Amino acid sequence: MLVGGLDLSRNDGDMTPVLMQQALSCLPVPPVTTDAPLRHVLAARPPQDGLDRISNLPVKLLRDIVSRLPAKDAMRTTVLSTRWRRICHSVPLVLVDAHLIPRAATGILRLLHRDADPRDYRTLPLHLAATVSVALAVHPGPFRCVYVTGSNMEAQDAATARWFQLLAAKGIKELVFMNRIKKFGTDVHLPATLFRCISLTKLYLGFWCFPETAALPRSAAFPYLREVGLCSLIMKPQDLAILLDRCPVLEKLMMIGCRWPVCLQFQTRSLRCVQVCSSIVTEITVVHASLLERLLLWDAWGDGGRVHMSSKIKIGHALKLRFLGFLVPGMHQLEIGNTAIKGPQSGGTGKVNLKSWEEAGPIECIQRHIKRLVLREFQGKKAELNFLKFIAERAQVLQKMEIVLTLVTPLQIRWVPS
């Protein structure tokens, strides 16, 4: 049974909004908000004795305070006094384009105490890119994080190029940059200046053409980059290989809506989590990944057309691997070590009946080792019931079976062995 979701065979033009929503919902949460839950009545009042103590706090503490402000609030503190200005100008700031949307346009969201979020906009706010340009340019100090998710960067090559120069110069650490295109095929190139942002620790890019890596100097690398999200990029497989090769401490790799058949091979000492969603995956080979804990596939379709879709997942040396899935019987060919893991033959229909389980012969793991079984997204279909029956009759040391129904209140059934 295929997990429901995207149909990649659909016309590309229709896919963009779906992939865009999916990509936007996978982004990390910005570290500062415009929301101020600790603003109380008492705090709104001037101090009882009329003395300004806060401005006289040690520099280290004032810096900590300013670093928690959205960039535009920080900008406003520069006019309070010379001390505040010096502090603000040297603090690494967080710039989120959603915070720059004029208040008039976000009235309802503010009433709901929610930050403006570009995901809520069907029509993107006008001139947002221009405001981002100004904000990036005027802050003389570094930027800790920049989140740009609300601008269509087509025909804005000059702005994009300038931004990356500024980001590289200002030691950007976390960058989220989504190009809000309306349709595939109108993509814009990221400048190669990206590779000069060497202090990056977190990088999420969406709906861009990734720069060519062939001409990169050998020394070009992201020595601190721990987390990468690639959302619907146009990117050559060799460019991805080079990118991964140049990230020596990369822990988390997320890929959504890849626009080429994904064929990945990992030989890594740092990766802990790999996630591939809404993509065609021909092969993933984990040669050696000593820290890999999770290999997650969602809507990862095999290659070879609708009838013979197949996708190879080979796990070599990955002792810490705890989570692997979702795998679709008949489509994903799993190989662990030198052993091919065979699911029941589906006979081409995609249906698995009790007979096919019985034909699989005795399975030692089920008979002797399985103590706890958790089945989520249970729909009550016959194939699922057959599977449960098969397990219940054979698993000799099973102590607990948890079944969580799909789309309804989770239901736990405790099975007591007789």
Partner 1 sequence: MAAPESGDGNNGAARMVTLISSDNTRFEVEAAAASLSQTLQLTILDGGGGGGDGIPLPNVDSATLSKVLEYCIKHAPAAANGGAPNATAVDRAELERFDNEFVNIDQSVLYSLIMAAHNLEIEGLQSLVAKKVADMIKGKSPMEIRRTLGFPDPTPEEQAEMNAHMLEYGWAYE
Residues that bind partner 1 (CB under 8 A): 34-55, 57-58, 60-61, 64-66, 68-73, 75-80, 100, 102-104, 131, 134-135, 138
Q: Cβ closer to partner 1: 40 or 218?
A: 40
List the structure tokens of 43: 């705090």
Residue 382 φ/ψ region, left for φ over 0, alpha for ψ in the -120 to 50 degree band, beta for the rest: alpha
- Separation between Cα atoms, residue 229 and residue 206, nearest integer Å: 8
Determine the angle formed by the axes of helices 128-138 and 157-169, rounding to 10 degrees.
Answer: 30
CA–CA gap between residue 385 and residue 193 (Å, rounded): 56
Length, in residues, of the chain: 418
Three-state secondary structure call for residue 303: strand
Please state the closest distance from residue 177 (CB atom) to partner 1, in A: 19
In this complex, which beta carbon is closest to partner 1, that of residue 69 or of residue 318?
Answer: 69
Q: How far apart are CA 24 and CA 9, in angstroms?
A: 22
Q: From the CA atom positions of the chain, what is the Rg in Å?
A: 26
Quick one: 53 or 306, whose CB is closer to partner 1?
53
CB of 413 to partner 1, least distance (A): 23
Q: Which of 285, 200, 293, 175 is nearest to 241 (CA)?
A: 285
Quote the least distance from Cβ 37 to partner 1, whole Å.
7
> What is the C-alpha separation between 415 and 417, in angstroms, rounded?
6
CB atoms within 10 A of CB 338: 7
Of 91 and 230, which has the nearer Cβ to partner 1? Answer: 91
Of residues 17 and 102, the one with the C-beta less far from partner 1: 102
Nearest distance from C-beta of residue 69 to partner 1, angstroms: 5
Nearer Cβ to partner 1 (41/307) = 41
Q: Residue 131 Cβ, how far from partner 1 at the closest point, in Å? A: 5
Cβ neighbours of residue 245 closer than 8 Å, sequence gap 6 or more: none
Q: How far apart are CA 96 and CA 144, in angstroms?
A: 11
CB of 63 to partner 1, least distance (A): 10
Closest CB to partner 1 among residues 57, 370: 57
Handedness of CA 149, 154, 159, 164 (dihedral sign): positive
Contact 251, 232 (CB under 8 A): no
* One-letter identity of residue 225: L
- Residue 88 CB, nearest approach to partner 1 (Å): 11
List the structure tokens of 374: 């958790």
Taking the least distance from each CB to partner 1, the nearer of 137 and 341 is: 137
Beta pairing partners, 228: 203, 253
* Cβ distance to partner 1 smaller for residue 55 or 406: 55
Q: What is the closest distance, in whole angstroms, from the C-beta atom of residue 151 to partner 1 in the complex? A: 14
Least gap, CB of 77 to partner 1 (angstroms)? 7
**Whole-angstrom distance, CA of residue 182 vs CA of residue 20:** 9
